[in-house]
Amino acid sequence: MPASTTLSTAELRRPIVAAAALSEFARGGFHGTTIADVAREARISPAYVFKLFPGKEALFVAALEACFDEVIAALSSGADAASDQSPTGILDAMADAYAELIGDRRLLSIQVHAQSITHIPEVGAGLREGLARVTSFAKERSNGSNADVQRFMAYGQLCHLIVTAGVEGETQPWAEILTHGIRHP
Amino acid sequence: MPASTTLSTAELRRPIVAAAALSEFARGGFHGTTIADVAREARISPAYVFKLFPGKEALFVAALEACFDEVIAALSSGADAASDQSPTGILDAMADAYAELIGDRRLLSIQVHAQSITHIPEVGAGLREGLARVTSFAKERSNGSNADVQRFMAYGQLCHLIVTAGVEGETQPWAEILTHGIRHP
DNA sequence: TTGATGAGTGATTGATCACTCACTCTTGGA
DNA sequence: TCCAAGAGTGAGTGATCAATCACTCATCAA
């Protein structure tokens, strides 16, 4: 068992490529990102990407799953760190953690891109799966009412819109209405 | 002035092509839709599209503007028809009208697609412009508080997510949390 | 009648990209 | 030492598509 330069197996490399795909798809979207982009980011050849994933769509779904893994982890540690452990206190802490998390836009962007290609069945299924995980986790961890959890999700979506549209750069009244009380990411 | 077969001028044809672009971009997104698709829908040649619009991006922006025209019109007539003319009564009526409007998915889809390509400056600007129109209209027409209008927008975004992800087909508890009280489009 | 202007198109081009295939290199067990 | 199995790649290929260009045809003012 030579400790120094063990070749990474395909099994070990797959999640690395998925992470690279997350970054690249977040930047360019599904159609705007090439397999070559992902391969370059992952430091492998384009051809090898197809040995690790059956096609571009499966690669996108893997990236989306990696995104929701990170989201759940951030919500979890945010909830743990909440000073007020009441349901709404926990949901507020989760919202803060989420706003912090999407500061780099990667996790936000790929969700928006996924929304725009849900006509690909695997992507739609992957998005629903992620939503199920987030919603269920928020409900169970906070023990809040259904209405509280729904509001948490709705304002999360508003936050997505504010960031993707760049509303934060605006100073008019309409922008103030949308952004008021939203932690600026 | 021959009344029978006056040739449509470029000026008159542009909005027709924009409407065709709205339908096509809504179906395939920016990268997934070709100029040939739009041309076919508008019954003109691909080459002529480039005589009417300087490029694909300008065509998308025109389609997005047409989308917000329709949205404002629907909100307006929804508000007029509200039985309860209090601020929240008007906002509720607008929400109903909006849910009704996006039943055909075209107006919803192009907004989601626009969100995914806001890195194109003209698209980002067009989206902010549309948001400004919708938010300002909701505020002025309803005379509701800023918080009421913000909630109206947030739940609108949740509605977008529910429809694009196909949450309505799900019956699990997490789906019930998200969709409860949302008028099914 | 003429000629200028604008409507509208067919054919093409240059670039891009998902995906394939035949191939080489590396590793570790017998 | 040898070899089987898997890691990893270079060089394509066929298809697609935005954008261009040289054209034809219709209209109408003078």
Task: Please report, for the domain that includes residue B168, its CATH number.
Answer: 1.10.357.10
Q: How confident is the model at residue B2 (pLDDT cuts 50, 70, 90)?
A: very low
Residue B6 and residue B92: Cα distance in Å, rounded? Answer: 45
The distance from CA A59 to its chain's CA centroid, rounded to whole angstroms, is 15
How many structural domains comprise chain A? 1
pLDDT of residue A10: 85
- Show residues of chain A in contact with B32, CB under 8 Å: 31, 117
- Within-domain flag for A62: yes
- Within-domain flag for B4: no
- Within-domain flag for A141: yes
- CA nearest to B127, candidates B73, B32, B61: B61
pLDDT of residue A185: 52
Strand C contact set, beta carbon < 7 A: A 2, 5-7, 33-36, 46-47, 50, 55-57; B 7-11, 13, 44-48, 51
Residues 2-31 of B with CB under 8 A from A: 29-31
Residue A142 tokens read as 């906070």
Residues 137-176 of B with CB under 8 A from A: 139, 146-147, 149-151, 153-155, 157-158, 160-161, 164-167, 170, 172-176
Please determine, for residue B62, whether its predicted confidence score (pLDDT) is greater than 50. Answer: yes
Please determine, for residue B117, whether its predicted confidence score (pLDDT) is greater than 60. Answer: yes
pLDDT of residue B4: 34
Q: Which positions on chain D have an atom < 7 Å from some protein CB?
A: 6-12, 16-22, 26-28
All residue ranges of chain A with pLDDT < 70 are 1-8, 184-185
Q: How confident is the model at residue B91 (pLDDT cuts 50, 70, 90)?
A: very high
**Are B117 and A147 inside 8 Å of each other by CB?**
no
Give yes or no for a contact between B132 and B68, defined as CB atoms under 8 angstroms apart: no
pLDDT of residue A104: 84
- Within-domain flag for A86: yes
- CA nearest to B67, candidates B30, B114, B100, B33: B114
Strand D contact set, beta carbon < 7 A: A 7-11, 13, 44-48, 51; B 1-2, 5-7, 33-36, 46-47, 50, 55-56
Contacts of B131 (CB under 8 A, 6+ apart): A161, A165, A167, A174, A178
Beta-carbon count within 10 A of B4 CB? 4
- Within-domain flag for A22: yes
Mean pLDDT along residues B86-101: 95
Please determine, for residue B184, whether its predicted confidence score (pLDDT) is greater than 70. Answer: no
Residue B25 tokens read as 């971009």
- Within-domain flag for A185: no
Percent of chain B with pLDDT over 70: 95
3-state secondary structure of A46: helix
pLDDT of residue B185: 52
- Within-domain flag for B2: no
Mean pLDDT along residues B59-88: 96
Mean pLDDT along residues B165-179: 96
CA–C1' nearest nucleotide, residue B6: D27
Q: Which of B141, B157, B159 to mutate to test the interface with A (most CBs of A within 10 A)?
A: B157
Q: Is A76 on the interface with B (CB under 8 A)?
A: no
- Show residues of chain A in contact with B160, CB under 8 Å: 115, 157
User: Which residues form the domain of B87?
Assistant: 10-179
Distances A39 to A36, A67, A122, B138, B177 between C-alpha atoms, Å: 5, 19, 22, 46, 39
Q: Is A86 on the interface with B (CB under 8 A)?
A: no
**Are B118 and A177 inside 8 Å of each other by CB?**
no
Give yes or no for a contact between B117 and A121, defined as CB atoms under 8 angstroms apart: no
Query: Which of residues A5 and B26 earns the better pLDDT score?
Result: B26
Q: Which positions on chain C have an atom < 7 Å from some protein CB?
A: 6-11, 16-22, 26-28
Residue A125 and residue A132: Cα distance in Å, rounded? Answer: 10
- Within-domain flag for B29: yes
